[in-house]
């Protein structure tokens, strides 16, 4: 198939490599080096989508990141990606893309009926129309809007691609490889600075690829190629194409997304698809150039109306004609450059210039080439539906208010140039407050806030000579300050055609009796009339106007529409543009894929997984694991067809009757040493610690300064100045920071050191009436009798040649011990316990049985110590020392904490002794009371009591101390349950605690 | 992301640190009789300053030292960092 709009011998594409691709099901050809957009235009395809609101036909408007129209659904290697700009997507063999926002097809789109209803779809239409009746929102309006509006469709499949993150430091980060980027990078690199030069496109050079200039007797492109290849050779320089610096954050941290594989049919093995760079730069040079802005006229969204710079880029870079009968509509000299390129390639353009007989070298060249130029002329409206067929043009008066007689002129494209808008987004993100530059009618960066400098067109400098000079100087000066090198570079001779001033004209008035839509924002269908309505309705702040009309929103973020929007608001409001101000530029500058942001932190990689040294044993013995913070812990050990309920009941029962063993390695452990260690404990725990003898453990509770319980655990005095503290699994890190805080900042006079030893010790709890017999067999040389190792006692022992710490402490409420050995010996310890324990009918038990055991004993854990309870609430008030001060003590005198009916922990049993009580349910007095039913408390933890073989729960209940024996209702609207219950003591089993001391 | 100069380790990225609140708050001495108001001020009441602010950070993924950082809460500029035992001047 021939590419009817492709020129021969023009462009930077590789004509030796033909690529086939599919668009909307039809096959086409392009060349290596094409974008999807350039390849489609080469094939004469201009209808690529439908607009957001009115479903009007959409073509191509730009040739890069500013593109508001050509958004496609891309299919690549079995995956699909929505909202890809055809102007950015490089062509690859087998590429497939489809139009979005049209149904059933882009040629026949039912939604286009909105176009005829547009009188009913003004600004704020959704807010006004879909308000009532309320019930219609979910059933009618929302599904309708969802189907009618919106862009592409996100894949719901797991993304097979890999995305990486990289952290980098440099002296100078330079964003954009146009003339200013190249010059500053070159000067800085020659001074030995570490430079990163980032270019968004695949080709380096920016405007040098399309402009007719001469630098040091070379064409712009040749000069750019020379600089780039020299930079690539330098070890202190990183040159990256396909890399967009999209965000400027605090302390000169910038983020760049590098598209490594998006231009290939599939990602190479071991390569990521994209890489996100976090770059900390000493200096940032913003050389992001400028974006041409449109002039507003009737039906200016018709396919075939596009930026004149884009037309030039398609021609010079891709060898593609956007039309064969072009009309150039301009208010400045840039339009002439495009016209000249057309003319040089055998196409006869017509130029409409809003100015009255301007003079410059560029205009003279156009005249000399015999180009038809009409001065003081404007395009009133484009004609044609799916493609421009002609234009209504007219002479315009000196004051730009009156249109002359309307003439119709045949054309197949209208290339618009309304002058240039500096790309100040990055500078603005850095905190730089922009200022308005009158002579270019646009904002440029003001005073630098961070270490950033904006160069060239991005700074409103539009001549090459000036741009190169200032960029060389800036690159040289900044790098010299960093490296102290001072390599002088000779400045090349620059030849460029001189241009004259532009006309500050931006919007063509409506002719009498015509009501053409004149669009400001092309992606969101925001027309002049929409802004007028918003202002009439009282919206004043530009931020409000933006949100009400959606001007400048969506994937292009108004790169071509923002300034014209401001012009309109300032005109209606009779203000100057800087008084209206612009909306805030926020990162990202261009859309970034979610995959790149997430990087490798997906699935199991999203957080570390910690396993105890006995993990493999658990796996081999049918453990079913549960996430406990970052730890994996056995929840239960499955036997045969057992479910969770049956297995945990069996395991818990075996602890109560024989002996069980539980992996408690995950408990936080902190080693505390120093002469003032006892004093520290005395201050952080609520009970007394100064008289704890060596070889004894004590249970302690620590509070936050606001009196809320922070954590609990046992701490053992190993020797005179050495303690071993345990914390709950969840709070281990917080408790360590808490101790460090007080030691470093509040009481630096205390001579104590703390260090986490959680991972250094493997722990096994053996619990049950037969645990002492088992312990004696494990440690035949130690005295583990009730006298030799009493409750809360501590000894060191020899476990078949391995040094072990033995603590007589109990969480299960049974006679129990915890054995700690160095982590490397954990598995050895575990296997020995299982082996020796066989004769005592030992079974391992998981966290589910562990919970059952502690709940029916009324021992509190994380679900009660939930950051909302004080010691009294957990019946821990007996642990509050009256003799000494401790962290948080003063807060306990607060009125609410001492109220008579203060909440307190209780036990809850269903009256029928059968119905399980869902955790999180509420306790109420009357289950039939009108809503909202006053809540008296909540269920914190539930289990099936193995002691009594019925359900049992713990609850935090208002006035809990006086509620024992009361009958209440448990209500769980989520589970649709109402359960009559009786309130009992939280100590359901062995309330006197005799077993632990037996 | 902030770049914080740990007085012990040098310039490090914010993600190595955790924030610890106002550094100018002094904990009342243990055992000292104080009014409810004074205690409330210590536990709860903080100024939400715009501008220079001395605050605590802990270098949790580094040396684990608590440090004092003088930061502008609006611009995020960091002026000075001190070790835990150095007095704010």
Q: What is the pLDDT of residues A98-111, one digit of tens each?
A: 998 766 677 766 66
Q: Closest-CA residue in chain B for A893?
A: B36
Q: What is the pLDDT of residue A30?
A: 97
Q: Closest-CA residue in chain A for B38?
A: A890
Q: What is the pLDDT of residue A561?
A: 87
Please say if the pLDDT value at position A142 is more than 70. Answer: no
Task: Compute the average pLDDT of residues A576-593.
Answer: 91
Q: Buried b / exposed e across A159-190, counting CB within 10 Å, b at 16+?
A: eebbbbbeeeebbbbbbbbbbbbbbbbbbbbb
Task: Compute the average pLDDT of residues A147-153.
Answer: 66
Task: Examine residue B57 and state whether it is found in any structural domain, yes or no.
Answer: yes
Q: Give A796's Cβ-side CA count (13 Å radius).
A: 10
User: Digits of tens for pLDDT over chain B (89 positions)?
Assistant: 999 999 999 999 999 999 999 999 999 999 999 999 999 999 999 999 999 999 999 999 999 999 999 999 999 999 999 999 999 98
Task: Compute the average pLDDT of residues A377-397.
Answer: 97
Please tell me the distance in Å from A142's CA to the nearest CA on chain B.
38
Three-state SS for A128?
A: helix
What is the rounded CA–CA span in Å between residue A376 and residue A382?
Answer: 18
Q: Does A904 contact B at CB distance below 8 Å? A: no
Of A251, A706, A885, Cβ closest to residue B31: A885
Using a CB-CB cut-off of 8 Å, the residues of chain B touching A745 are 56, 66, 84
pLDDT tier at A50, thresholds 50, 70, 90: confident
Using a CB-CB cut-off of 8 Å, the residues of chain B touching A754 are none
Lowest mean pLDDT among A482-486, A563-567, A753-757, A764-768: A563-567
A590-622: per-residue pLDDT in tens?
A: 999 999 999 999 988 888 999 999 999 999 999
What is the rounded CA–CA span in Å between residue A734 and residue A4?
Answer: 69
Task: Examine residue B1 and state whether it is found in any structural domain, yes or no.
Answer: yes
Please say if the pLDDT value at position A226 is more than 90. Answer: yes
Q: Closest-CA residue in chain B for A279?
A: B1
Please say if the pLDDT value at position A857 is more than 90. Answer: yes
The verdict on ipTM greater than 0.95 is yes
Name residue, tokens 């000579």: A465
Q: What is the pLDDT of residue A702?
A: 98
Residue A776, both tokens: 């004696």
Instruction: Identify the domain containing residue B64 by its residue range.
Output: 1-24+49-89
Q: Give A115's Cβ-side CA count (13 Å radius).
A: 18
**Residue B51 burial (CB < 10 Å; 0-12/13-18/19+)?**
exposed
Name residue, tokens 């993924």: B61
What is the rounded CA–CA span in Å between residue A624 and residue B29?
Answer: 50
pLDDT tier at A123, thresholds 50, 70, 90: low
Using a CB-CB cut-off of 8 Å, the residues of chain B touching A753 are none
C-alpha dihedral sign at A219, A222, A228, A231: negative
Residue A174, both tokens: 């330079």
Please tell me the distance in Å from A706's CA to the nearest CA on chain B.
6
Residues 57-86 of B with CB under 8 A from A: 58, 60, 64-66, 75-76, 78, 84-85
Task: Examine residue B72 and state whether it is found in any structural domain, yes or no.
Answer: yes
Please tell me the distance in Å from A888's CA to the nearest CA on chain B.
9
Please tell me the distance in Å from A254's CA to the nearest CA on chain B.
9
A423-445: per-residue pLDDT in tens?
A: 999 999 999 999 999 999 999 99
Q: What is the pLDDT of residue A388?
A: 97
Contact A251 B2 (CB under 8 A): yes
Task: Examine residue B15 and state whether it is found in any structural domain, yes or no.
Answer: yes
Using a CB-CB cut-off of 8 Å, the residues of chain B touching A885 are 30-31
Q: Does B31 contact A at CB distance below 8 Å? A: yes
Q: Does B56 contact A at CB distance below 8 Å? A: yes
Strands (E), A448-511: 452-454, 494-495
Q: Buried b / exposed e across A592-609, counting CB within 10 Å, b at 16+?
A: bbebbeebeeeeeeeeee
A296-321: per-residue pLDDT in tens?
A: 999 999 999 999 999 999 999 999 99
Contact B84 A748 (CB under 8 A): yes
Interface with chain A: mutation pick from B27, B32, B44, B73, highest number of A CBs within 10 Å: B27
Q: What is the pLDDT of residue A55?
A: 80
Q: Does A282 contact B at CB distance below 8 Å? A: no
Please say if the pLDDT value at position A114 is more than 90. Answer: no
Closest CA to A425 of A458, A460, A379: A458
A758-777: per-residue pLDDT in tens?
A: 999 999 999 999 999 999 99
Residue A752, both tokens: 């104590």
Name residue, tokens 């269903």: A910
Lowest mean pLDDT among A224-228, A504-508, A600-604: A600-604
More confident residue, A765 or A115: A765
Please say if the pLDDT value at position A131 is more than 60. Answer: no
What is the rounded CA–CA span in Å between residue A634 and residue A623?
Answer: 5
Asked if residues A331 and A418 have their Cβ atoms less than 8 Å apart, the reply is yes
Contact B66 A885 (CB under 8 A): no
Using a CB-CB cut-off of 8 Å, the residues of chain A touching B18 are 737
Closest CA to A657 of A782, A489, A769: A769
Q: Does A439 contact B at CB distance below 8 Å? A: no
Strands (E), A403-455: 407-410, 413-417, 420-422, 435-437, 442-444, 452-454
Q: How far is CA A414 from CA A61, A189, A323, A328, A354, in A?
A: 10, 43, 9, 6, 14
- Residue A482 CA from chain centroid, whole number: 33
Please say if the pLDDT value at position A145 is more than 70. Answer: no
Number of residue pairs across A and B with CB atoms under 8 Å? 57
Task: Examine residue B3 and state whether it is found in any structural domain, yes or no.
Answer: yes
Task: Examine residue B79 and state whether it is found in any structural domain, yes or no.
Answer: yes
Please say if the pLDDT value at position A139 is more than 70. Answer: no
Q: Closest-CA residue in chain B for A894?
A: B36
Residue A930, both tokens: 């009108």
Closest CA to A341 of A311, A375, A372: A311
Residue A78, both tokens: 């079995």
pLDDT tier at A902, thresholds 50, 70, 90: very high
What is the rounded CA–CA span in Å between residue A14 and residue A318?
Answer: 9
What is the rounded CA–CA span in Å between residue A952 and residue A970?
Answer: 12
Q: What is the pLDDT of residue A116?
A: 61
Using a CB-CB cut-off of 8 Å, the residues of chain A touching B85 are 744, 748
Closest CA to A507 of A441, A588, A581, A591: A441
pLDDT tier at A170, thresholds 50, 70, 90: very high
What is the rounded CA–CA span in Å between residue A707 and residue A872?
Answer: 10
A527-542: per-residue pLDDT in tens?
A: 999 999 999 999 988 8
Query: What domains can you pick out in chain A, each with its CATH number?
Result: 1-158 (3.10.20.440), 163-290+422-495 (3.50.50.60), 294-418 (3.50.50.60), 663-853 (3.30.1360.120), 899-997 (2.40.30.110)
Task: Compute the average pLDDT of residues A731-738.
Answer: 96
Contact B39 A449 (CB under 8 A): no
Using a CB-CB cut-off of 8 Å, the residues of chain A touching B76 are 250-251
More confident residue, A132 or A903: A903
Using a CB-CB cut-off of 8 Å, the residues of chain B touching A890 are 28, 34, 39
What is the rounded CA–CA span in Å between residue A927 and residue A930?
Answer: 9
What is the rounded CA–CA span in Å between residue A126 and residue A148?
Answer: 12
Q: How far is CA A358 from CA A328, A362, A368, A759, in A?
A: 16, 10, 15, 79
Q: What is the pLDDT of residue A553?
A: 82
Q: Buried b / exposed e across A48-68, counting CB within 10 Å, b at 16+?
A: bbbbbbbbbbbbbbbbbbbbb
Omega before residue A84 within 30° of 0, cis: no
Q: Does A405 contact B at CB distance below 8 Å? A: no
Which residues, listed in sequence order, are joined to residue A805 by a DSSP beta bridge?
Answer: A796, A820
Please say if the pLDDT value at position A129 is more than 70. Answer: no
Alpha-helical regions (H) of A35-169: 36-42, 113-116, 125-129, 136, 142-148
Task: Examine residue B41 and state whether it is found in any structural domain, yes or no.
Answer: no
Phi, psi of A742 (to 5 degrees): -70, -35
Q: What is the pLDDT of residue A153?
A: 83
**What is the CA angle B10-B13-B17, rounded to 5?**
90
Q: Does A249 contact B at CB distance below 8 Å? A: yes
Q: Closest-CA residue in chain B for A254?
A: B1
What is the rounded CA–CA span in Å between residue A55 and residue A104?
Answer: 12
Please say if the pLDDT value at position A787 is more than 90. Answer: yes
Task: Examine residue B76 and state whether it is found in any structural domain, yes or no.
Answer: yes
What is the rounded CA–CA span in Å between residue A540 and residue A78?
Answer: 48
Parallel, antiparallel, or unpaired for β A237-240 and A195-198? parallel
Q: Closest-CA residue in chain A for B4?
A: A251
Of B3, B30, B42, Cβ closest to residue A251: B3
Please tell me the distance in Å from B2's CA to the nearest CA on chain A.
6
Q: How far is CA A881 from CA A735, A877, A889, A891, in A?
A: 21, 9, 9, 14
What is the rounded CA–CA span in Å between residue A872 and residue A852?
Answer: 23
Q: Give A678's Cβ-side CA count (13 Å radius).
A: 15
**What is the CA angle A569-A417-A525, rounded to 5?**
50
Residue A303 contacts by C-beta under 8 Å, 6 or more apart in sequence? A46, A47, A48, A57, A58, A59, A60, A386, A387, A388
Record the pTM.
0.89
For A867-919, the DSSP string reads SS--GGGGT-GGG--SSS--TTGGGGGSTGGG-TT--EEEEEEETTS-----T
Using a CB-CB cut-off of 8 Å, the residues of chain B touching A249 are 1
CATH number reported for the structural domain that contains residue B56 in this entry: 3.30.2270.10
Residue A456, both tokens: 């060239």
Number of structural domains found in chain B: 1
Task: Compute the average pLDDT of residues A463-490.
Answer: 96
Q: Closest-CA residue in chain A for B35?
A: A890
Q: What is the pLDDT of residue A488?
A: 85
Name residue, tokens 């926020």: A586
Of B3, B43, B66, Cβ closest to residue A744: B66
Contact A885 B30 (CB under 8 A): yes
């Amino acid at each position: 198939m021939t590419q009817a709009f492709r020129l021969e011998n023009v462009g930077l594409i590789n004509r030796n490599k033909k690529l086939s691709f599919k668009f909307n099901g039809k096959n086409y050809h392009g060349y290596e080096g094409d974008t999807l957009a350039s390849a489609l235009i080469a094939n004469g395809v201009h209808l690529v989508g439908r607009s957001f609101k009115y479903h009007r036909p959409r073509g191509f408007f730009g040739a890069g990141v500013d593109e508001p129209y050509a958004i496609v659904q891309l299919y690549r290697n079995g995956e699909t990606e929505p909202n890809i700009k055809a102007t950015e997507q490089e062509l690859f063999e087998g590429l497939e893309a489809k139009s979005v926002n049209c149904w059933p097809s882009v040629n026949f789109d039912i939604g286009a009926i909105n176009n005829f209803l547009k009188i009913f779809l003004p600004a704020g239409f959704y807010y006004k129309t879909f308000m009532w009746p309320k019930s219609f929102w979910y059933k009618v309006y929302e599904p309708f809007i969802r189907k009618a509006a919106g862009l592409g469709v996100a894949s719901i499949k797991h993304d097979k691609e890999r995305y990486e993150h990289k952290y980098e430091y440099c002296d100078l980060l330079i964003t954009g490889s146009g003339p200013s980027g190249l010059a500053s990078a070159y000067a800085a690199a020659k001074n030995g600075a570490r430079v990163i030069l980032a270019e968004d496109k695949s080709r380096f050079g920016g405007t040098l690829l399309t402009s007719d200039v001469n630098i040091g007797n070379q064409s712009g492109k040749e000069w750019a190629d020379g600089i780039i290849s020299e930079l690539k050779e330098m070890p202190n320089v990183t040159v990256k194409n396909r890399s967009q610096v999209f965000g400027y954050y605090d302390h000169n941290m910038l983020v760049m997304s590098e598209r490594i594989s998006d231009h290939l049919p599939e990602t190479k093995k071991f390569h990521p698809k994209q890489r996100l760079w976090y770059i900390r730069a000493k200096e940032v040079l913003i050389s992001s150039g400028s974006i041409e802005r449109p002039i507003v006229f009737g039906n200016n969204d018709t396919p075939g109306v596009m930026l004149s710079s884009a037309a030039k880029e398609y021609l010079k870079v891709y060898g593609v004609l956007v039309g064969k009968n072009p009309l150039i509509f301009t208010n400045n000299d840039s339009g002439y450059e495009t016209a000249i390129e057309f003319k040089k390639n055998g196409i006869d353009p017509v130029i409409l210039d809003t100015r009255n007989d301007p003079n410059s070298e560029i205009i003279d060249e156009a005249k000399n080439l015999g180009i038809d130029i009409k001065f003081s002329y404007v395009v009133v409206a484009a004609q044609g539906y799916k493609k421009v067929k002609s234009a209504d043009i007219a002479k315009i008066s000196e004051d730009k208010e009156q249109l002359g007689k309307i003439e119709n002129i045949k054309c197949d494209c209208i290339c618009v140039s309304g002058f240039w808008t500096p790309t100040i987004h990055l500078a603005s993100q850095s905190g730089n407050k922009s200022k308005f530059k009158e002579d270019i009618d646009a904002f440029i960066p003001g005073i630098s806030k961070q270490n950033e400098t904006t160069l060239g067109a991005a700074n409103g400098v539009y001549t090459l000579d000036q741009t190169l000079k200032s960029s060389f100087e800036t690159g040289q000066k900044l790098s010299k300050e960093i490296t102290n090198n001072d390599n002088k570079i000779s400045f090349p001779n620059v030849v460029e055609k001189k241009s004259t001033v532009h006309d500050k004209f931006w919007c063509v008035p409506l002719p009498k009796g015509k009501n053409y839509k004149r669009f400001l924002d092309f992606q969101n269908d925001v027309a002049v009339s929409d802004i007028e309505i918003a202002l009439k309705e009282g919206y004043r702040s530009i931020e409000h106007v933006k949100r009400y009309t959606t001007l400048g929103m969506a994937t292009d973020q108004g790169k071509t529409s923002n300034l014209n929007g401001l012009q309109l608001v300032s005109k209606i409001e009779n203000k100057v543009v800087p008084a209206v101000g612009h909306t805030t530029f926020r990162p990202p500058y261009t859309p970034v894929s979610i995959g790149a942001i997430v990087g490798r932190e997906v699935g199991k990689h999203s957080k570390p997984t910690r396993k105890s040294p006995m993990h493999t044993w658990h796996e081999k013995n049918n453990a079913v694991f549960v996430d406990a913070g970052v730890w994996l812990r056995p929840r239960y050990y499955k036997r045969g067809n057992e479910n969770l309920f049956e297995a945990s009941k069996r395991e818990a029962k075996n602890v109560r009757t024989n002996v069980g063993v539980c992996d408690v390695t995950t408990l936080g452990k902190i080693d505390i040493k120093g002469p003032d260690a006892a004093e520290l404990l005395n201050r952080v725990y609520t009970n007394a610690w100064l008289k704890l003898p060596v070889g004894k453990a004590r249970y302690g509770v620590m509070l936050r300064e606001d009196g809320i319980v922070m954590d609990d655990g046992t701490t053992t005095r190993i020797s005179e100045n050495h303690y071993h503290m345990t914390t709950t699994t969840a709070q281990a890190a917080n408790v360590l920071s808490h101790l460090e805080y007080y030691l470093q900042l509040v009481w630096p006079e205390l001579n104590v050191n703390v260090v986490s030893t959680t991972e250094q010790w493997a722990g096994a709890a053996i619990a049950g009436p037969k645990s002492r017999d088992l312990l004696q067999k494990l440690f035949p040389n130690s005295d583990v009798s009730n006298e030799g190792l009493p409750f809360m006692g501590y000894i060191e022992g020899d476990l078949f040649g391995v040094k072990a710490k033995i603590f007589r402490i109990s969480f299960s409420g049974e006679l129990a011990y915890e054995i700690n050995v160095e982590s490397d010996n954990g598995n050895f310890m575990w296997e020995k316990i299982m082996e020796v324990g066989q004769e005592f009918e030992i079974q391992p038990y998981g966290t589910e049985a562990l919970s059952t055991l502690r709940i029916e004993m009324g021992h509190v854990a994380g679900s009660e110590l939930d950051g909302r309870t004080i010691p009294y609430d957990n019946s821990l008030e007996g642990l509050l020392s009256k003799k000494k001060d401790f962290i948080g003590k003063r807060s306990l005198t607060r009125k609410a904490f001492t109220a008579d009916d203060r909440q307190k922990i209780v036990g809850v049993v269903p009256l029928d002794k059968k119905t399980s009580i869902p955790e999180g349910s509420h306790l109420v007095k009357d289950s039939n009371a009108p809503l909202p039913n006053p809540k008296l408390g909540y269920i914190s933890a539930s289990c099936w009591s193995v002691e009594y073989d019925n359900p049992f729960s713990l609850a935090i209940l208002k006035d809990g101390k006086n509620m024992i024996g009361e009958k209440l209702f448990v209500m769980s609207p989520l589970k649709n349950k109402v359960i009559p219950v009786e309130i009992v003591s939280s100590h359901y089993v062995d309330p006197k605690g005799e077993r632990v001391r037996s | 992301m902030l770049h914080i100069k740990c007085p012990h380790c040098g310039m490090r990225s914010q993600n190595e640190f955790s924030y610890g609140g106002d550094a100018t708050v002094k904990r009342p001495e243990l055992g000292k009789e104080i009014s409810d108001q004074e205690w409330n001020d210590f536990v709860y009441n903080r100024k939400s300053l715009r501008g220079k602010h001395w605050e605590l950070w802990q270098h949790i993924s580094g040396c684990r030292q608590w440090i004092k950082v003088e930061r502008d809460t609006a611009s995020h500029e960091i002026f000075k960092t001190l070790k835990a035992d150095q007095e704010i001047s």
